[in-house]
Amino acid sequence: MQRIGLIVNHDKPTAAGTAHALMQHARDLGMEVLACAKTVAEAGGGMACQTEDFPGRVDAVVVLGGDGTMLNAAHRLQGSGIPLIGLNLGDLGYLTSIEASRIQEAMRCLRDDRFTISQRAALSCRILRHNGEQFVTMDALNDLVVSRGASGRAVWLELSLGGVAVTTYICDGIIVSTPTGSTAYALSAGGPIVMPETAALVVAVICPHTLTSRPLVVPDTTVITIRVAKSSAPLVASIDGQDDFSLALGEQIEVQRSPRTVPVIHLPGYDGYSVLDRKLGWGGR
């Protein structure tokens, strides 16, 4: 790879210094870097280019930030097929699993095409309104969350899988996650960890008013439908925490695996289990 795009979360304290180091490494390796005008100014180099103009101009995109920055990049480049590589400037860093201290190694691997690409599943979400209006949201790399929003009351949500009515939950909400998103909100709600290559989706209920509710793992060919059966206020459907839509009483959202994937770059020697071990503190006491 000779030309890369760069997306930086400038709210991170170390962002400017890391971006500057990346530009220096790129120059030393004979690589070109395209980034927004603010990043070019703060990093002291590169070619100014809006993120939305990256398709057709860059071979890959380096993301400096946390997992939220990576999700935002995936949304902005949706459908482009440009692979993303995340360097972690945040706290957890499941998606941005490469530490910023490895920036020189990462740039050299990109230049020499020494990496693997993981095609991450995404979710396509269709909202069905009372008036018959339908619209498809942005794809979700992590998850769709239907929640009670600002209301302090539990809601009734009907769940159907593949057109078959399953049950009605009294709860705070429902999470539908991809394998990538299984280590995000779904994990906090008691869901399982699903490795990225697994052909499955996770349905996890947020604070169900029952002791018998457990997360579901379903084939990724399943169409998942969530209908608002009872609520005192509009609910919120959140796509990767990036885009929010309201859901009124009687309205529903259909979720299924998207035909599009999000390509994520891994450096040589990447091991997803060791990332989980390190990030979750397995084996600690």
Annotated active-site positions, please? 67
Please state whether beta strands 32-35 and 47-48 pair in parallel, antiparallel, or not at all (unpaired).
Answer: parallel
Is residue 228 within 8 Å of 251, Cβ to Cβ? yes
Between CA 229 and CA 115 the distance in angstroms is 48
Report the 10 Å Cβ neighbour count for 248.
Answer: 12
Angle in degrees, 0-180, between the axes of helices 103-111 and 15-28, rounded to the nearest 10: 40
Distance CA 172, CA 215 (A): 14
Q: DSSP letter string over 56-73? A: TT-SEEEEEE-HHHHHHH
Cα gap 237→244, rounded to integer Å: 6
Backbone phi and psi for residue 73, each to the nearest 5 degrees, phi listed first: -65, -40
